[in-house]
Amino acid sequence: MLKRILLPFIFVILAYGFWFSPDLKEVTAGVAIFLFGMLFLEEGFRTFTGGLLERLLKRTTDRLWKAISFGVVATTIMQSSSLVSVITISFLSAGLIWLTAGIGIIFGANIGTTTGAWLVAGFGLKVNISAYAMPMLVFGIILVFQKSKNLKGIGYVLAGLGFLFLGIHHMKEGFEAFKDTLDLAEYAMPGFLGLIVFTLIGMAATVIMQSSHATLVLIITALAAAQITYENALALAIGANVGTTITAIIGAMSSNYQGKRLAAAHLIFNVTTGAIAIIFISQIVWIVDGVAAGVGIAGDDYTLKLALFHTVFNAIGVAVMIPLISKLVAFLQRAFPKPREDLVEPKFINETAFDFPETLFQTVRQETMHLYDNAFEVLAHGINLHRKDILSEVDLEERVENSRQVMDFDPDQIYMTKVKVLYGAILDFVSKAQTRLSPEFADHLYEIRGACHGLVMSVKDVHHLHKNISAYMGSENEDIRREYNSIRTQIASVMREIHCLGESGEEDRDVLTLDEFKLAIDENNIIATGGLDVLIREEKITVTMATSLMNDLRYARNAVWHIADLGKAVYGATDLATKEAEEIMALTEEDVDEMRESAAS
């Protein structure tokens, strides 16, 4: 609601301002160009992430002091604490760095970002930087159009700097002209009230612009043009420092608990630093005056003194917070706990089964069926069918032909929480159990373990298939649609058969039936029958479709064979002699190849 009102409100205020004062136009255009430059700069540095930056980050964050130093250096080079924060959040979320290191980088970034004020105050206002901006823009934009990723990145950085310089120039010019028409200094507020009010203004300006860097440049240029007093400029800088946390907070809203922890750390640090600066303003100003005199900054060079103030109060903040960092980490871990993943736990296997080989064998089978049940969703939805389509008695071919809805599901999440965990538990159990069993029992356990592995592979196979099935099952091209629907039908058929085997009593089960599906998928393979060549030759399908189909036929074949093997391992006879007899009669790959070849000839 607020968001919807805020934007039109800002537009109206700006439009009124532009109509009222052409100088305001120049200042705000300067801010806009500056922000545009920041975007370019971030884009430029982003092209270099994924390599050097990551390697550096990993190597330089194993100690707190290194993490802080990294934050300072990275932000000084990139001139964007937001980019550094975002990268830190992504690294923290990926588990590549630890929370304390992440907090260290954020602390460092707060000091690093103050270098921007130094550059603008020391260089930007004293040199005609617009003279550098134009060639930078020209060279930068030419490089942006290059194909090479590195050249493009350099181009973005160069153009970004060009826009930054141009923006600063326009802000400077705007405030200079402003001075003749309107003296903002008249609105200066001395004392504690002024400190609070201007801190809030600084915060608001940074929240709106989402860049403390831009706010600071604006403050420095206004201060240089004597549009604001030094005292109020200090308050604005404190406000900008607190307001800048909004970028991290917005970024963390869509990130995981680690991102939220880091954004909270950022907020706590900046609010604490701001509070210290407000409470001890006179003492900090005294320190700034002393240091300024010591390093040779003139007493009336308020822009440089503002930059110094910015650095000093951030450095004080870091010094105060470092001893509290472990407490801060503990607080953040409590406030943003790691969400409990809905991990599936084994239902049947437990260590008491080790003492009874026959029940152990049955227990592992039941757990394997549990694993299959969990994998069922990925397998069924992967071929864009509902569970009920497969488990009912409806004509599968007809159902497949008519169902063209792409299933919305998260295969990775299901795999991680429901399949992988259980598979790991079965692996662990089988490894421990095999040492306590006689060889014939151990062999069957190995078979089940192999079947579980096959099932996990088939989940991955179907996951691979999902994209092309979704793309081609509703295709206008009848031939490609038919081939993909055939794949869907064959996978669904073997799954239905597994269900039927589970439903029937042990005496009536015929696991050898599963060989029919193995033979069918091999016989129907249009690569082997030459059907694919015909489709390509007669231009019924494109070469792209053909290559996709070739890969997908392999995935489908593997999935059907793995699922069939799982059915045999789980629903095969329970007594060892019959199981062995079933294995003797079961068709091997060589048998299937022979049958396929004799059928073809």
Partner 1 sequence: MKTSTVVNSLQDILDLGSKKKKKAALKKILKKLKKKQIGLKKKLAATQGDKGNKALTAKLKVNQAHRKKGLKALRMLNGKE
Looking at residue 519, its amino acid is L
577 counts as binding partner 1 under rule CB under 8 A: yes
595 counts as binding partner 1 under rule CB under 8 A: yes
Residues 445-484 vs partner 1: string with x where CB under 8 A? ----------------------------------------
* Residues of this chain, 536-575, that bind partner 1 according to CB under 8 A: 573, 575
Q: How far apart are CA 320 and CA 273, in angstroms?
A: 9
| Nearest to partner 1 of 34, 561 (CB atom) | 561
The values of phi and psi at residue 143, to 5°, are -65, -35
Alpha-carbon Rg for the chain in angstroms: 34
Instruction: Tell me which residue of 358, 549, 325 sits closest to 445, measured CA to CA.
Output: 358
593 counts as binding partner 1 under rule CB under 8 A: no
54 counts as binding partner 1 under rule CB under 8 A: no
Candidate ranges 104-112, 355-363, 449-457, 586-594; the one touching partner 1 (CB under 8 A): 586-594
Secondary structure of 260-328 in HEC code, one letter for each residue: HHHHHHHHHHHHHHHHHHHHCHHHHHHHHHHHHHHHCCCCCCHHHHHHHHHHHHHHHHHHHHHHHHHHH
Q: How far is the CB of 256 from partner 1 (least distance, A)?
A: 50
Candidate ranges 179-187, 375-383, 422-430, 583-591; the one touching partner 1 (CB under 8 A): 583-591
Residues 378-417 vs partner 1: string with x where CB under 8 A? ----------------------------------------
| Nearest to partner 1 of 314, 490 (CB atom) | 490
Q: How far is the CB of 580 from partner 1 (least distance, A)?
A: 6
- The answer for residues whose C-beta is within 8 angstroms of residue 401's C-beta and 6 or more apart is 485
Contact 47, 153 (CB under 8 A): yes
405 CA to centre of own chain:
28
Cα pseudo-dihedral 540, 546, 548, 550, rounded to 10: 130
| Nearest to partner 1 of 197, 586 (CB atom) | 586
Candidate ranges 79-87, 123-131, 211-219, 581-589; the one touching partner 1 (CB under 8 A): 581-589
Q: How far apart are CA 226 and CA 240, in angstroms?
A: 19
| Nearest to partner 1 of 392, 578 (CB atom) | 578
| Nearest to partner 1 of 343, 581 (CB atom) | 581
* Residues of this chain, 510-529, that bind partner 1 according to CB under 8 A: 510, 512-513, 515-516, 519-520, 523
Q: How far is the CB of 515 from partner 1 (least distance, A)?
A: 5
Q: How far is the CB of 487 from partner 1 (least distance, A)?
A: 17
Instruction: Tell me which residue of 572, 403, 410 sits closest to 492, measured CA to CA.
Output: 403
Give the side-chain half-sphere CA count within 13 A for 523. 16
Neighbours of 376 (CB within 10 A): 19
Q: List C-alpha distances in Å: 163 to 37, 41, 127, 217, 526.
A: 4, 9, 16, 13, 59
Size of the site for partner 1 (CB under 8 A): 22
Contact 427, 448 (CB under 8 A): no
| Nearest to partner 1 of 510, 597 (CB atom) | 510
Contact 24, 170 (CB under 8 A): no
Q: How far apart are CA 76 and CA 109, in angstroms?
A: 8
| Nearest to partner 1 of 435, 598 (CB atom) | 598
Residues 491-510 vs partner 1: string with x where CB under 8 A? -------------------x
Q: How far apart are CA 436 and CA 542, in angstroms?
A: 57
Q: How far is the CB of 584 from partner 1 (least distance, A)?
A: 5
| Nearest to partner 1 of 189, 442 (CB atom) | 442
Q: How far is the CB of 51 from partner 1 (least distance, A)?
A: 54
Angle, helices 81-93 vs 245-253, to 10°: value is 30
Neighbours of 323 (CB within 10 A): 8
Contact 75, 115 (CB under 8 A): yes
Contact 140, 160 (CB under 8 A): yes
| Nearest to partner 1 of 345, 393 (CB atom) | 393
| Nearest to partner 1 of 193, 577 (CB atom) | 577
Among 438, 537, 585, 601, binds partner 1 (CB under 8 A): 585
| Nearest to partner 1 of 415, 561 (CB atom) | 561
| Nearest to partner 1 of 358, 575 (CB atom) | 575
Instruction: Tell me which residue of 355, 115, 369, 110 sits closest to 238, measured CA to CA.
Output: 110
Among 424, 581, 589, 597, binds partner 1 (CB under 8 A): 581
587 counts as binding partner 1 under rule CB under 8 A: yes
Q: How far is the CB of 359 from partner 1 (least distance, A)?
A: 21
The contact set with partner 1 (CB under 8 A) reads: 510, 512-513, 515-516, 519-520, 523, 573, 575, 577-578, 580-582, 584-587, 591, 595, 599
